[in-house]
Amino acid sequence: MPRPVHAATWADAAWPLGAHVDDAEGITTFAVQAPYATRVVLEIYPTATGSDAIASFDMARGWDDIWSAALVDAGHGTLYAFRCWGTNWPSVDDWRRGGSRAGFLSDRDVDGNHFNPNKVLVDPYAREITHTPMSRAVIEAGAGPAIFGSGPMRFGRRPAREVDTGRWAPKGVVVHDDTPTGRRPDGTGNTTIYEAHIKNLTLHPSSTRLRDIMGDVPGFAAVDWVPEELRGTYAGAARMAPYLTALGFTAIELMPVHETDSDHAGAQSGTTNHWGYQTLAFFAPNRDYSSDKSPGGPTREFKEMVRAFHDQGIEVILDVVFNHTAEGGNWFGDADSVGFTTLGGFGTSEYYVLTQRQTLVDGATGTSNQVNFSSSAARQLVLDSLSYWNSAMGVDGFRFDLAPVLGRHPDAAQRDDWESQKRFFADHPLLTSVRNLALMNDFEVIAEPWDLWGYEVGNFPTGWGEWNGRFRDASRRFLKGDGNTLEFAAQFNGEHVRHGQDSGRRKWINFIDAHDGFTMFDLVSFNDRQNYQPPPFGPSDGGESHNQSWDSGGDHALRRTRWRNNWLTVFLARGIPMVVSGDEYGRTQNGNNNPWNLNTVGMWNNWAQAASNTPTRLPVDPRVPVFGPAYYDVVGQADAEPGTNPLLTFATFVARLRRDDPGLRHLGWRGVLGVPTQPYVFLRPDLQGHPSDGERALTVCIDAVDSRARDYLMCVNMWTEPVEFRLPHLPRRRPRARPRWRRIIDTSAWAEREGNCWSYDTATDIKDAYVVQPWSIAVIASPAG
């Protein structure tokens, strides 16, 4: 039985937040921040659900509003939780566990905090949690998510505020783990990002045959198979590390892996939140993504996955969601009714933005609540979470969902002054602190620089990278023939960061598709979203209605050509390229552009498609090959042998070219000693001056700043007729050497049988001019050195 130790020192302790095992002392310390609480009790539980606490301890309040306790015999695997009292519900002697109204005065205190001792709370700093409010564990224990409600609404025959949740609430897990994560790769200046979802990556049955599928694909002999029991897990993802290396990528960006509130479990689909953008615990890895669900199992398995990627030279970047949480907002629009299971129960006004009438705000997030980053406690939680995932879990970088929320100051204006509330502060202390933490610990921070209140591309402080939404929009338009030539050239060249004082130190992520929106192949296959179709490709709500997409007139060959244009543009543009898992072989979601809720076989990566010249004619589910669901045949039959997917051949060639040629890594605008560099020049096809708007053909001259690299000409023709491109004279770099331009890429349909790509040594010499076919791009290369 755990028991207290050194109780007289608790109030003066400086223990870190969360639960920490001290091997030297043989104790476990517990600390939680609850600045407005009047009493906090630590409880120890024997099981995750169905049991009452077996021990409880009144914690001591410190001068910094942190409540602390220390126990012996509460080591690794111990389950714990908290109860809080406040001025709205003071502690009285006749309060009892099991559901009591003793001491109740109101549902909120004067600051809008919802203290309720009947509602058991999980530690915001817990390294793992047992389950989530929406998980089946709650239902199997005889309750449901509604039991976590607090306020005047009824639960059965009683007000919800009087219902005790001890037997059903999530519990924190004490974790003590020293699994190594391997040596971190040096990705400086050579980052290419592969965005993926842990489950979608390997949950499809085809992942168990991956070695057989990819074994005969040139360069992919080291790819391994995923054991059945590891499908859709961290361990399954780890088996994909050799595949990413063979494909030519140096970083994987994982969609949220923090513990999220969801009713999806394994391969079983639920009703909501498959993507994971509803974070419940910012230090805990998602237990559902782990094959090892024992205490400490998810932590250990996540670290082993990181090491597998590190061993292959691949960085691990996490998509993190700090702008809102899974706790939701006011139930039924009632200011007294909430369903807090963690942060909000320790201090609603400390962690969330409230209106003047103390209702929760979600204006910038659209997700029922919005985190208050005027609060030092909320800011510290972000910094502590990043530090933990970087130092203990081995993560190399973070992408911040709806990042402008982290730069908003709710306390800097009246809560009902909405225009002032929407103001973005580039010098916000959280943004600068995150940047400083990243610089000191050598990890990347990347903003999704927009939310529902603003579009802040280019406005984040020095040291932050940004998703470049302007590049996405400009490229989609130009590559479907809109003729927005100057806008496309500017974004291809990273002009939006060119003139800032920190332009040489800013990184931007170029992408044409991401997890939210059409896949890269659906972008050339559909005019409108197809979200309300039956399973497994729908139904899903939401999704962008203005996608800048075109179905290519239903022409399969043109679709494949335009897909190649998209892929090539992302990799040759100035900046860091990012694509979505499965784009490399033509993955489709049948036109659904917002499948946030779908944990289905239609959304999982079908790896059989990577080695087929008819990928969208394969069964969606190989277990039901005849009468099961079907893909829309958006790819058609490619001009290749039956066991070859020429899309993958092309994708691999381009990704490796970007990875291996230092001349294609023009990230900053300032060269050696701060001298401005301009390696990208845009000319008309005849080389006579710069292109104008409306001209749908242009030459991009890419100058090799690095002496080891090649010069490139990217000849872009978005006209409906062939265009001749003149080639500039190549100067002699060596005596008696005759330099030659050679065509190494042509995205047109005629070259599909040859993979649309050639090594420089086998490529065709081009003398004075080259004709590029309609809707196609050619790349002409000079000798290296």
Task: Report how far apart, in Å, the C-alpha atoms of 361 and of each of 349, 366, 407, 731 are.
Answer: 11, 9, 16, 63
Contact criterion met (CB below 8 Å) for 252 and 310: no
Whole-number Å distance between alpha carbons of 747 and 724: 15
Residue 520 token pair: 């890269």
Say how far apart CA 566 and CA 49 lie, in whole Å: 50
* CA–CA separation, 512 and 562 (whole Å): 12
Q: Among the residues of 588-719, which ranges form H helices?
A: 646-660
Q: Give burial (CB, 10 Å; 0-12/13-18/19+) of 660.
A: exposed
Residues sharing a CB contact under 8 Å with residue 276, sequence separation 6 or more, in sequence order: 197, 255, 256, 257, 258, 260, 262, 286, 321
Query: Among 404, 402, 424, which residue's Cα sits nearest to residue 413?
Result: 424
Count the neighbouring beta carbons within 10 Å of the beta carbon of residue 24. 5
Of these residues, 448, 466, 482, 513, which one is catalytic? 448
The catalytic residue among 401, 551, 661, 746 is 401
212-235 exposure pattern, b = at least 16 Cβ within 10 A, e = fewer = ebbeebeebeebebbeeebbbbbb
- CA dist 358 and 336 (Å) reads 9
Of 655, 661, 659, the residue nearest 785 (C-alpha): 661
Residues in the chain: 785
| DSSP calls for 369-398 | --B-TTSHHHHHHHHHHHHHHHHTT---EE
Rg (CA), the chain: 28
| Number of other CB atoms surrounding residue 78 within 10 Å | 23
| Catalytic residue flag (residue 94) | no
3-state helix, strand, coil in the chain (%, to 5): 25, 20, 55
Please identify which residue in the block is written with the tokens 């929106």. Answer: 517
The three-class DSSP label of residue 431 is: helix
SS3 annotation, 56-78 = EEECEECCCCEEEEEEECCCCCC
Phi, psi of 335 (to 5 degrees): -60, -25
First to last CA, the chain: 71
User: What distance in Å separates the CA atoms of residue 367 and residue 407, rounded to the nearest whole number?
Assistant: 18
Is 583 one of the catalytic residues? Answer: no
Burial class (CB in 10 A: 0-12, 13-18, 19+), 310: buried
- Comparing CA positions, the residue from 742, 675, 679 lying closest to residue 706 is 679
Give whole-number Cα distances, 466 to 150, 191, 505, 572, 600, in Å: 39, 14, 12, 18, 31
8 A C-beta contact, residue 484 and residue 438: no
Q: Which residue has the tokens 């020049």?
A: 681
DSSP string over 317-330:
EEEE--S--TT---
**SS3 per-residue string spanning 126-170:** CCEECCCCCCHHHHHCCCCHHHHCECCCEECCEEHHHCCCCCCCC
Question: Is there a contact between 340 and 401 (Cβ–Cβ < 8 Å)?
Answer: no
What φ, ψ does residue 350 adopt, rounded to 5°? -75, -35
- What positions carry a catalytic annotation? 401, 448
